[in-house]
Structures are given as C-alpha cells and as structure tokens.
Amino acid sequence: MQGDPEKASELTGSPPVPTIPNIHQTVYAAASNPKALNMNSWHTCDNTHCWAGWVVTLAGPEGKALESFFDTPLAAMKILDASSPHRVSPVRFFEQNADALRHMKAMADIEAA
C-alpha cells in the first residue's frame, strides 16, 4: 500500500512504521563492527544481528513492535521502504556475511552521494 504509513497502520491494525535517518549508512556502521553481523540468525545477541535484524533493532521499540506484529524480514522491509527511496531486495537478507556487508556498503555509499 502506498501513501502515509500512519494511515496504512490504521487500516491494517499494525503498529506504525518507524523511520531511521540515513538508514543505509546507519545500518552499515553498526553491522561493520567486528562480530556485529551474523547472517545465519535474525538476532544472535544484543550486539550481533543479520541485516534485517539490525534494521529492526536500530528502529528501537517501534521496530521491535513491528517485528512482533509481522516478522523480522517484513518489519525490516517496511522500515527500509519508509526510511529511504533506495530499495533493498529482501533476498539480501539471506546472503552470506561478506556478500551482505558488501551490499550494505554499496547502499550506504549510494545514500551518502
């Protein structure tokens, strides 16, 4: 559904979709730290997540509420779509660490340009 995320949440009963400023740069900065990225699990611990897990985590309590209502990949896609015109394919959420990190950096660079 296109349009205002607040209106969409009223229609579906889902929590509002949070946004993250400079989302691609923010996610890359978090995930590129040593041992911060684990593409084998949505959330490994407080400081280690996959790509979708980082998106949800960085969105704070609102991201967690959206994740609880939907699931991790759909919540992350909604947050990404609301936060940036630069789209990420959900297939990226199932890559290996090195590939995902390379794509995160490419998205961060596009966003920064």
pLDDT, tens digit, for every residue of 30-56? 999 999 999 999 999 999 999 999 999
Cα separation, 15 vs 96, whole angstroms? 30
Domain count, the chain: 1
3-state SS class at 71: coil
How high is the pLDDT of residue 43? 96
Residue 83 belongs to domain spanning: 20-112
Q: Is residue 87 part of a domain?
A: yes
pTM attached to this predicted model: 0.88
